[in-house]
Amino acid sequence: MSVKTLTINGELISARAGDTILQAAKDNGIYIPTLCHLEGLSDIGACRMCMVEVEGINKLLSACVTEVAEGMVVATNTEKLKEYRRMNMELIFAEGNHTCAVCVANSNCELQDTAVAVGMEHTRFSYRFPDRGVDLSHPQFGIDRNRCILCTRCVRVCDEIEGAHVWDIANRGEEAEIVSGLNQPWGEVDACTACGKCVNACPTGAISYKGSSVAVMQRDRGRIPFLAAAREKQQWTR
């Protein structure tokens, strides 16, 4: 296994070749905020929360999809990054209907936690209040698209782990939304095995157990990484 040596925040660290900056940082106890990343799934760099600065490169890079390289000099926590992350978070909040006070995921929410972590107190942008649907046609689960941040963790977990590929993104731009079974009501999608992996993968209150009330949604956050590791390393006990 070849090893790459790089600097993150002035600290010299070593990482496996092929690791992402995010992985290398994590292995060395350096926190980089993420939303669309979920251990065990492929990374797509969608949410832009893990942006880092790399010396010699003019633009910001997503740590989750950028591989480490020998001699790389990375900064994860500069003033510029802090400002961009906070603004990014504000845009995410302004774009959907993220009303924590009446959300199932309140106090168990990655979006909420990350907002706190990046120091977002309010949004300087006006809320758009989009009119998005709620689908409760599935007997066990429900999706409230008002809370969705289009991280596609549900899309990826269903495709890569469960192999059912129920979820996709339909439409473009501000009309983009998560759909099941090529845009059928979730309850009518034969491909859905009702495994609940998307429920555990969802970082916000978008996908939840049916019947859950405000702030009661608890997720098994370790389940997806466990399944991925189990498959890869043949370790079937937790």
Partner 1 sequence: MSEKITIEPVTRIAGHGKISIFLDDRQQVEDAKFHVTEYRGFEKFCEGRPLAKMAGVIGHVCGICPVSHILSTAKAIEKIQGITIPDPAKKLRRLLNLAQIIQSHSLSFFYLCSPDLLLGWDTPPENRNLFNVIKSDHRDLAVGGIKLRQLGQEITELVAGRKVNPPGIIPGGIKSPLSRENRDKIGDRIPESLNYAQKTLDTFKSLLDSHSKEVNIFGNFPSLFMGLLGEDDTWEHYEGKIRVIDTQGNIIVDSFSEDNYQDFIGETVEPGTYLKFPYYKPQGYPEGNYRVGPLARLNLCEKIGTPRADRELLEYRDRAGTRYVTSSFYFHYARLIEIVACLEKIQKLLEDPEIISENTRIKVAKGKIDRLNAVGVSEAPRGILFHDYQTDAESKVKKLNLLIATGQNVLSMNKTIAQIAREYIDGPEIPETILNRIEAGIRIFDPCLGCSTHAMGQMPLHVRLCDRNGKIVKEIWRD
Residues that bind partner 1 (CB under 8 A): 101-102, 104, 133-137, 139-140, 142, 144, 187, 209-216
For residues 64 and 151, what is the distance between their CA atoms, to the nearest angstrom?
13
**Token duo for residue 100:** 């924590």
CB of residue 184 to partner 1, shortest distance in Å: 14
CB of residue 201 to partner 1, shortest distance in Å: 19
Closer by beta carbon to partner 1, 84 or else 209:
209
The residues, ordered by sequence, that sit 6+ positions from 166 with a Cβ below 8 Å of its Cβ are: 158, 180, 181, 186, 189, 191, 192, 198
Closer by beta carbon to partner 1, 60 or else 136:
136
Give 177's Cβ-side CA count (13 Å radius). 21
CB of residue 188 to partner 1, shortest distance in Å: 12
**What amino acid occupies position 134?**
V
CB of residue 26 to partner 1, shortest distance in Å: 33
Closer by beta carbon to partner 1, 104 or else 155:
104
CB of residue 194 to partner 1, shortest distance in Å: 11
The residues, ordered by sequence, that sit 6+ positions from 190 with a Cβ below 8 Å of its Cβ are: 181
As separate numbers, helices (DSSP H) first and strands (DSSP E) second, the chain gives: 6, 10
* H runs (alpha helix) in 71-190: 79-95, 110-117, 153-156
**Token duo for residue 2:** 């070849």
CB of residue 125 to partner 1, shortest distance in Å: 12
Name the percent of the chain in helix, strand, coil, to the closest 5.
30, 15, 55
For residues 10 and 149, what is the distance between their CA atoms, to the nearest angstrom?
33
Closer by beta carbon to partner 1, 124 or else 172:
124
Closer by beta carbon to partner 1, 28 or else 137:
137
The DSSP secondary-structure symbol of 89 reads H
Closer by beta carbon to partner 1, 32 or else 178:
178
